[in-house]
Amino acid sequence: MQKNKALILAHLDPPRKRLKRRAALAVAFFSLFGMVTAFGTVRETAQPSVERVMVIEKLAISAAQVPDENAHVFWQEERFDRGDTLAALLARLGVDPAVAARLVRENGRAKPFRALRPGMAVQALTADHGDLLSLRFVAGRDTVLGFDRTPDGFSPVEEPAEFSRAVQMKTGEIQSSLFAAADDAGLPDSVAIQLAEIFGGDIDFHRDLRKGDRFSVIYETLYHQGRAIKSGRVLAAEFINDGREYRAVWFGEDPDGGSYYAPDGQSLRKAFLRSPLEFSRVTSGFSTRRFHPLLKKWRAHRGVDYGAPTGTRVRATGDGVVQSAGRQNGYGNVVVLRHKGRISTLYAHLSKFGAGIRRGARVSQGDVIGYVGATGWATGPHLHYEFRVGDQHRNPLKMVFPSAEPVPVARMAAFRDQTGPYAAQLDQLRSVEIAALD
């Protein structure tokens, strides 16, 4: 029996100007809890039950400039498609053909239309008989473009987007891959990738994931006039990997400066990343089977192999200096990095090197040092990764790495104030789930 549960958990911050922050804002805040009934029957073995979380957001209603209170006006939205024409788009938006023709004739070369790209959603405010009053769409990250009706025709509009910010909470369980679970939970890719990055010092998302691993995540989504514009930062997250619990909370002085800590203030940033491979939708489901049967002829296998498509980005797992970058027989194109503490890391079979990767170059953790390939003795594209301390090969999957600095003692009170609520929400999310499983 499939247990398709849904819980609704959302609260909203008031709309706010990104550019002009307003000091005084009425705070609209609510929290909803609810459950939706289970449905559907799925063969138990073929497709195990999946945690499903739905988030319903209350959205900011766009403020339309209505010339006459008695006029019947309404906003309509249509997507501008590939191969679309302005005339076709305006027709779908219910704009009178003569009005549309005039707009295009007078403003077809104006900035708003030049910035319009396939995939953008365009909203039109029309009055009776298809009379166009306003046209709006979001261009880029935070600009709204469009036209307003004036006595003389139409005048172009460019204004900062007014976003409402919703905090969402979602939870999921891993059956095959993180992205499959993210899809089931309705979690955007960018949030799944952030999860992998946040816990990248503790969990190798290419090798460590187990069926039954669970995650909960609290993150921001920015809305403009009711549409999700983008997913923002993860504010807090929990990952239960192979029975071990990891939690992260975001803590920063300002919206753009901060980092992730455990709820006790310990840094989640480690001296080395667990995986040298960039995490993405493509690599997440890739087989990790062995790639070199030729190996026996070469040498004992002393590394970890990551199957990934050619061209996948390979990252320096720690800060260091390039000791060598070049071609060696079995390794093919190989980079060796030297780190503190007589540690070195090796990345082999690369298709090409990262920009500026040559002997003596300094690299920081996460920098791209090369791209996955199948050079040297490799039967398919994969990354061969070695970790050495002095002359000794070590299994990087089993190493314990030191952490970066914890939250300074003087900041702990602020840390608790800011992050305490998130930890409580993660607890809440977990208890809701357990209750729902009964």
Q: Which residues bind Zn ion (CB under 5 A)?
A: 303, 305, 384
Question: Which residue lies nearer to Zn ion by CB, 33 or 298?
Answer: 298
Question: Which residue lies nearer to Zn ion by CB, 204 or 305?
Answer: 305
Q: From the CB of 91, what's the least distance to Zn ion, in Å? A: 59
Q: From the CB of 303, what's the least distance to Zn ion, in Å? A: 5
Question: Which residue lies nearer to Zn ion by CB, 112 or 307?
Answer: 307
Q: From the CB of 393, what's the least distance to Zn ion, in Å? A: 12
Question: Which residue lies nearer to Zn ion by CB, 238 or 305?
Answer: 305
State which residue has the least CB distance to Zn ion. Answer: 384
Q: From the CB of 335, what's the least distance to Zn ion, in Å? A: 15
Question: Which residue lies nearer to Zn ion by CB, 64 or 295?
Answer: 295
Strand residues in 62-128 grouped as ranges (E): 74-79, 121-127
HEC-encoded secondary structure of the chain: CCCCCEECCEEECCCEECCCCCCCCCCCCCCCCCEECCCCCCCCCCCCCCCCCCCCCCCCCCCCCCCCCCCCCEEEEEECCCCCCHHHHHHHCCCCHHHHHHHHHHHCCCHHHHHCCCCCEEEEEEEHHHEEEEEEEEECCCEEEEEEEECCEEEEEEEECEEEEEEEEEEEECCCCHHHHHHHHCCCHHHHHHHHHHCCCCCCCCCCCCCCCEEEEEEEEEEECCEEEEEEEEEEEEEEECCEEEEEEEEEEECCEEEEECCCCCECCECCCCCCECCCHHHHCCCCCCCCCCHHHHCCCCCEEEECCCCCEEECCCCEEEEEEEEECCCEEEEEEECHHHEEEEEEEECEECCCCCCCCEECCCCEEEECECCCCCCCCEEEEEEEECCEEECCCCCCCCECCCCCHHHHHHHHHHHHHHHHHHHHHHHHHHHHHC
Q: How does DSSP classify residue 67?
A: S
Q: From the CB of 339, what's the least distance to Zn ion, in Å? A: 20
In the numeric block, which tokens belong to residue 390?
A: 């002095």
Q: From the CB of 218, what's the least distance to Zn ion, in Å? A: 38
Question: Which residue lies nearer to Zn ion by CB, 339 or 384?
Answer: 384
Question: Which residue lies nearer to Zn ion by CB, 15 or 332?
Answer: 332
Q: From the CB of 361, what's the least distance to Zn ion, in Å? A: 24
Question: Which residue lies nearer to Zn ion by CB, 303 or 370?
Answer: 303
Determine the 3-state secondary structure of 402 from DSSP: coil
Question: Which residue lies nearer to Zn ion by CB, 200 or 303?
Answer: 303
Q: From the CB of 178, what's the least distance to Zn ion, in Å? A: 24
Q: From the CB of 255, what's the least distance to Zn ion, in Å? A: 42
